[in-house]
Amino acid sequence: MTISTGLHSGLDRRVRFGDVSYDFYVRHGDAAWSDLRTRLDALDADRFVVVADSGLPDSLVAATELALSTVAPTLVVQAHADETAKTLSVLDQLAEQALKSGITRRSVVVALGGGVIGNIAGLLAALLFRGVRLVHMPTTLLGMSDSVLSLKQAVNSRCGKNHLGTFHTPTLVWNNLDFLQTLPADEIRSALCEMIKNVLGIVPDRYDEVAGLLRSDARYSPEVITRFIDLCVDAKTSVMHDDHTEKNGALVLEYGHTTGHAAELLTGGRLRHGFAIGIGMLAAARMSRELGLLDHSDERAHRRLLELNGAPLRLPDGIGTDAVLEVIRLDNKRGYVPGRAGTLDFILLEGLGRAHRSAGKLITQVDEDTVRLGIDSVLSDRYALAGV
């Protein structure tokens, strides 16, 4: 349900995955902070522990602390929003600060940042006293449109991405579009790559609509951004309605993530998540075409939306096929189906909006030669990492 008043405009949704649900709000404008305080007051929390991205503007963190402290005592702890900070040691440090502040089972952990901070704070909330309440306040479009629409909370192991985690449902998600005003254009473009994934893999009927709205300069009105977020809510809830742990039909949400996560890890997170996923989708589309699952027009449809979005289409310099393969061999989707020598597990499409199934599973075991071909198709010695 979209709402609009003289004071603010935005979106009210009840996100529901099976038997779990939570409130999801999009706001902007002068009345947004008052709206937040009203909703937090209803939680009857004895304390808020805010896990904030250390790179956020001081004014934003201060405004958040002020708003929350009028409701309950508030502690702000900070973490770096990069993949190297998604570790158990960082989580332990944050837990110690939270516990020393007096956090109880009635307290609420608040995630203030993008997807990395959401994951760290989400796992912290899941582990403290075996689970305290979690509120997401994403500060990036990727957080608003993608990561908070998942119950997965995880940190990295020394071997790879998101190996250590669990599922934890937020109590509510409060998105303030004003937070996006200081983001660089590439942050917007990166986030919209995940929306493009939803269009290609889940809601291809929205393809022309999205193609008509995308701008390579990444300049969008709050109304268009709200429309994009609403599309992502629709897409993700449609596949997670009966699969909130994302182990069956919702695995389509991992489209592009196998190669994408490898590229993200190999660049130490310098390649933005969405850009990595977009490139991963191009690699997957080439694999699918080689296997006879997609035709040329489907592969071109991938490229067209990414081009309209102004996203990179090639991996950065310095990343080779062998390095990508080495990381993929430790991908966290291993084990959904029994391993088979000489193959790697991927999510592939057999048409726009149709995930390929093999023996009833969304995991396709792709021979390594075809995987190499897919990775090679997105390699370039002309795309410099400095330009990402």
Question: How far is 130 from 152, CA to CA, in rounded Å?
Answer: 15
**Per-residue confidence (pLDDT) for residue 388, from 0 to 100:** 36
Cβ contacts of 357 within 8 Å, gap of 6 or more: none
**Is 254 in the active site?**
yes
DSSP string, 147-213: GGG--EEEE--SSSTT-EEEE---SEEEEEGGGGGGS-HHHHHHHHHHHHHHHHHT-GGGHHHHHHH
Question: How far is 27 from 9, CA to CA, in rounded Å?
Answer: 6
b/e map 64-84, b = 16+ CB within 10 Å = bbebbeebbebbbbbbbbebe
From 65, 254, 264, 299, active-site residue: 254
Task: Report pLDDT digits (tens) over 42-82.
Answer: 999 999 999 999 999 999 999 999 999 999 999 999 999 98
From 152, 290, 361, 368, active-site residue: 152
Task: Report pLDDT digits (tens) over 164-206.
Answer: 999 999 999 999 999 999 899 999 999 999 999 999 999 999 9
**Per-residue confidence (pLDDT) for residue 293, from 0 to 100:** 97
36-42, long-range: CB < 8 A, 24+ apart: 36/67, 36/137, 36/174, 36/176, 37/67, 37/70, 37/71, 39/172, 39/174, 40/67, 40/68, 40/71, 40/72, 40/108, 40/135, 41/71
pTM of the model: 0.89
State yes or no: pLDDT of 386 exceeds 70.
no
Rounded mean pLDDT of 10-21?
A: 91
Task: Report pLDDT digits (tens) over 240-255.
Answer: 998 888 889 999 999 9
Q: Determine the distance from the C-alpha atom of residue 291 to the mean position of all C-alpha atoms in its chain, rounded to a whole number.
A: 28
Please report the domains of the chain, with CATH numbers, ordered by start residue.
2-182 (3.40.50.1970), 185-387 (1.20.1090.10)
To the nearest whole percent, how much of the chain has pLDDT over 90? 83
Pick from 7-11, 35-39, 155-159: least confident: 7-11
State yes or no: pLDDT of 371 exceeds 80.
yes
**Is 361 in the active site?**
no
